[in-house]
A and B are shown apart, each in its own frame.
Chain A
Amino acid sequence: MAKRKLRIMVAKPGLDGHDRGARILARFFRDSGYEVIYTGCHQTPEQIVEAALQEDVDLIGLSCLSGAHKELFPKVVKLLKEKGADDIVVIGGGIIPKQDFQYLYDHGIKAVFTPGTPLEEIKKWIEENVKVREELV
């Protein structure tokens, strides 16, 4: 049976409405041949996790430009773990100072891509680090 396409969710947690980057990434992923779900703005971590499970995604990209990333990103990872879905890879981006990267890595965020990162670099990282989740038998 042919393996399905990688499914990526681009999500905007918190109250931040700056979605230019998130929308560009969503379109880029779609043009690159992935299945993309874009949540739109103002999602709670709970809503993101619920949607991610419903849509059976392999990767969640979180975008936050309001400075609330240290609160929100780890929350998503924690909720995924509670639901037994911590094989979903979580990455982040937005306005995130370099000094916060380690905190995010320590809390389960696998990579952080901030403004100026070439799109192809993100795609390459995904190809090398994200697999389609094993089908549940």
Chain B
Amino acid sequence: MLKYFAEELLNKCSSLRKKWEDEVKKLIAKRPERKERFSTVSDHEIKRLYTPEDIKDLDFEKDIGFPGQYPYTRGIHHTGYRGRLWTYRMFSGLGTAKDTNKRWHLLLKEGQTGLSTAFDFPTLMGYDSDSPRSAGEVGKCGVAIDTLEDFLVLVDGIPLGEVTTSMTINPPATVMWSMYIACAKKQGVPLNKIGGTIQNDMLKEFIAQKTFMLPPEPSMKLISDTIEFGTKYVPKWNTISISGYHIREAGSTAVQELAFTLRDGMEYVEHVMKTKKLEPDEFAPRLSFFFNSHIDFFEEICKMRAARKIWAHVMRYRYKAKNPRSWWMRFHTQTAGCSLTAQQPYNNVVRTAIEALAAVLGGTQSLHTNSLDEVYCLPTEHAVQIALRTQQIIAEETGVANTIDPLAGSYFVEKLTKEMEEAAWEYIEKIDNMGGMLAAIEQGYPQMEIANAAYKFQQQVENGEKVIVGVNKYVTEELQEIPILEIDEKVEKEQLKRLEEVKRRRDDKAVKRALDNLRNACKKDENVMPYCIEAVEALATEQEICDVYREVYGEYKDPGFF
């Protein structure tokens, strides 16, 4: 093994360090440090100083290496952001399809380079706007989509052969993707030209985000169907965005986010290989990931570097993929919603900027930056503009994109990357020994790890150990008023009218036929995608299709771990 440092340097370092430590001891006896213990927001202990000794056992080629070369610690592309900047992809959706289409055009005009769809809760959960469960929820958290007619309005004026679109949709992913595909067909864009992502990651739903519908096994089946369909017919599409963002938002530590996300990815790879008989190289290049960028600056950068390294190893050695593209971890990042505060909301601009910078230094392929007002409601136009400008300022003004992985070689960054990698592997092995992620979920393991971490953090905030500016320190009594975007109550009425009108004029026989075909396909364990596309084109509603799935596969109820 090529040693990272010469022996003489390490010896010199060691002797200087001992002298320094003696001096420190004397100094802090007179004047103690601010705290007894310093740790990241995830409570990972951080030392006073890092030196060459901390990384003396690193293997330059195996641990650090070069960008575009295995194990990609420094990035998956040879030319990094000099070749291509990360995509400015703002998660966005509100009210009706028309409202959202307007916001999308605004964002594209302001320089966004990729689209990302936020749906409302009824759509996320597979209910139509006219379901009794949807009362009060329509259009509040994102866009309401009931039928293909809504989707056509959503993408009106957007060339689907030129812009890529991400959709945050999980149980009904087959339905939304079918609608997108149907829209592309109407625009005359061939399926092998459309690009985008569907989140479509049910494991993290059971663990954290909790938009679930079907039980775990059939949920996996639908996901493998989309991966298989994408592999065959929509080669530029990322049919899954294996997510850690929500795991972190639910309160996990950074290491848990890293480990559970990667282990989820492994579960999907194994499921596709087993049930679809596909080789990893056939589908792995289109697996994508989604991480959180939280407020502890260095912890996030190291997490992302460790993520690339672990995934490359897993794909190359565990699953024996041969194509280097199968080893690449490509990920989207969102700055941490849970780090933002309702108190003194303008502070959130600062938090988002720092989190965005961490994501860039971590090498993200695409980025969403939260708006300052998202603690209260969906973002106003002005707030979302600031969030987008944050990315553009980082890209154009700060110089951090001039060189690739600039923090490599830092004793601290390389040590912390290694520590997080090792800690993540411990979790991964533990879950392996439980029988895999599905088994672990059934036992409530990741859910309880998250609940414990969330509770611990809350206690640390309550007792002042962890400071949140404006909340438990530097508190101001008077309320800072900011403009709040309100979703008009008439959005729900409008959507109900639209839905009723579509139901009235569509060919009910064609809908019934399509739904029957879908039901039979499910029962015969066929790939559902072609039948789903047929159904959306016949103007079946999202819930009508999801109800077929519910009927065949059953429903999942929240076990309520706390």
Residues of chain A whose beta carbon lies under 8 Å from any beta carbon of chain B: 14-20, 22-24, 26-28, 38-42, 44, 66-72, 95, 97-99, 114-116, 118-120
Contact = CB atoms under 8 A, between A and B. Distances in A.
Contact of B211 (A17, A24, A71): A17
Contacts of B132: 44
B562 A68 contact: no
A116 B141 contact: no
A23 B558 CA distance: 12
Nearest to B205: A17
Contacts of A38: 560, 562
What's the dominant secondary structure at chain B's contact region?
Answer: loop
A14 B462 contact: no
A24 B455 contact: yes
Given A20-B250, A70-B136, A40 B471 contact: no
Given A28-B458, A42-B125, A42-B558, 9 more contacts: A14-B121, A15-B121, A15-B133, A15-B134, A20-B454, A41-B558, A71-B135, A115-B375, A116-B341
A17 B212 CA distance: 9
B137 interface: yes
A24 B135 contact: no
Nearest to A10: B562
Contacts of B557: 40, 42
A23 B487 contact: no
Nearest to B558: A40
Contact of A44 (B133, B342, B561): B133
Contact of B458 (A68, A95, A119): A119
Given A40-B558, A71-B135, A15 B125 contact: yes
Nearest to A41: B558
B119 to A, nearest CB: 11
B121 A66 contact: yes
Contacts of A17: 205, 209-212
Contacts of A72: 136
Interface in B112-127: 121-122, 124-125, 127
A118 B462 contact: yes
A118 B464 CA distance: 11
Contacts, number: 104
A120 B210 contact: no
Nearest to B132: A44
A20 B562 contact: no
24 contacts: A14-B137, A15-B137, A16-B121, A17-B210, A17-B212, A19-B558, A20-B249, A20-B251, A20-B338, A22-B562, A23-B451, A23-B454, A24-B458, A27-B562, A28-B458, A40-B557, A42-B557, A66-B141, A67-B140, A68-B121, A69-B136, A71-B137, A98-B479, A116-B341
A18 B346 CA distance: 24
Contacts of A20: 249-251, 338, 454
Nearest to B213: A42
A77 B431 CA distance: 43
Contacts of B133: 14-15, 44
Interface string B128-161: 0000111111001100000000000000000000
B560 A39 contact: yes
B4 interface: no
Q: Could you say which of B140, B376, B562 has the most chain A C-beta atoms within 10 Å of its C-beta?
A: B562
Q: Could you say which of A15, A67, A69 has the most chain B C-beta atoms within 10 Å of its C-beta?
A: A15
Contact of A66 (B140, B209, B451, B472): B140
A39 to B, nearest CB: 7
Contacts of A14: 121, 133, 136-137
Contacts of A99: 484
A105 B559 CA distance: 31
Contacts of A28: 455, 458
Contacts of B462: 118-120
Contacts of A18: 210
B343 interface: yes
A44 B137 CA distance: 13
Nearest to A13: B136
